[in-house]
Structure 1
Amino acid sequence: MSSTTEQAGIGVELKRWRRIRRLSQLDLAALADTTQRHVSFIESGRSRPGRPIVIRLSEALGLSLRERNDLLTAAGYLPAFTESSLDEEALRPVRTALDEILRGHLPYPALVLAPYGRVVTANEAVEVFTEGAAPELLTPPVNLLRLMLHPDGMARRVGNLGEWGRHVVENLRARARRSPDPGLDGFVAELAAYLPRVPAGPGHLGFSVPLRLASADGELRLITLLTSFATATDVTLAELHLEAFLPADEETAERLRLRAARRRSEGAVWRPLPERLS
């Protein structure tokens, strides 16, 4: 890559991210402990930034590890953060810990998700989500969000699909605004098309609304807990999160306990949605 291309690349990318974050050059300079003049020169291609300032700028912009690597590459530098496969020996302790967390969350459903809802692994309690779903929605790689909102998936059993589904879609839209991605825009449009048009009335609860899911054992009311690797320095780990579902009332807790007991008594064999971590 030529010096000119490198300078043009970092300048264009820096300006793009600054505008996405709605920061002036002066705002970004203050956050990155540099000068407005330096930021201006980088964006215009008049200055080739050193690796440390590119890293500071990416931190000031609040970029993900993948996005920070991309900004470094645009400046002509090697990525700072590794991107490992979950199959690698170095991540065995992580795989073991995640499997322990999933087992420990039983009898309640929990999954490990990659970006945009792709299921990496799950515990056996997620069978409550796959009940009656079309086989094509359960073919790896399974996407949890599509499974939940698709009319041939879980959607027909969701008692508050319009309100709860809007919460799912709006979360994705917020992510798309923060990290623009044409692929994500298309996915958001797909999911939104599955939802009924329900205006937000005076009783609208926003993000606190629980999922109301019909099941063979009666209605389940579930709330969601999201957990991520806050200090990860590996792109793969930084992009994973744990989505754990908790009962919103004692009736739901009891029904999930009964389902778990029934699986054990029937000797049901758990066949995970995707290939497991271990």
Structure 2
Amino acid sequence: MLDVENIQLTFGGVKALAGVSVHAATGKITAVIGPNGAGKTSLFNVISGFYKPNSGQVRLAGEDISALGPHARAYRGMSRTFQNIALFHGMTVLDNIKLGAHTNLKSGVLSAGFRLPSTRREEDRLDREIQRDVIGLLELDHVQHHQVEDLAYGLQKRVELARALVMKPKILLLDEPVAGMNREEKREMSRFVTDVRNNWNTTVLLIEHDMSMVMGISDHVVVLSFGKPIASGTPDEVRANPDVIKAYLGGAEEPAANAA
């Protein structure tokens, strides 16, 4: 579903990514891990179109999308959550979720402004789909009419996942989906991510520091250190890799200029 080939990214004299390649198989969960400063978020920003790499290629479902901006990638089926919650306060859970469906709506500004019958029918259809496919799946029924700022942190992260899912993405990018959560919230989020993959056959690419989650739900793991790929394989293969152990235990020495 996603092929990222030989990405090179520099900021001034600092090399953030040096020859990074990631391949996310359709319907699988692929994790990108690494110590702080390894280049994980830089990689996500390249994949989603926020950063333009110095060289390399990003392909989605076989199409080269390297030159496309974030909005064009979204229209082609790429959806993303962020490490820091980016919900709209003053709006309900349901309204926040519905905002994610703009790529699937056909009504224009004028028809929406005048509330034409076609627009109302499309919004009614969207409401039914959200209730059927997203609200129930992520168990948000009891809070869908609450203001998002009134929710606990774990529920807010779940709403952000719901907003990304309502786009019906081909690939879902999750940037530290369980950061800041307690143990029970992490278990729930892990279950929801696997439910999305199992029920919708959605391809998932995630960044995460919680190794118990990564090793528990991932089909494939890619490890970065100082902007370079050092290992790739199944969770068991990566767990036993001496280069990974060295990187996480502090045995790897690199010049500070390469720590992006």
- What's the TM-score once normalised by structure 1's chain length? 0.22
Higher relative contact order (CA 8 A, sep 6+): 2
**Structure with the largest fraction of strand:** 2
Larger Rg belongs to = 1
- What's the TM-score once normalised by structure 2's chain length? 0.23
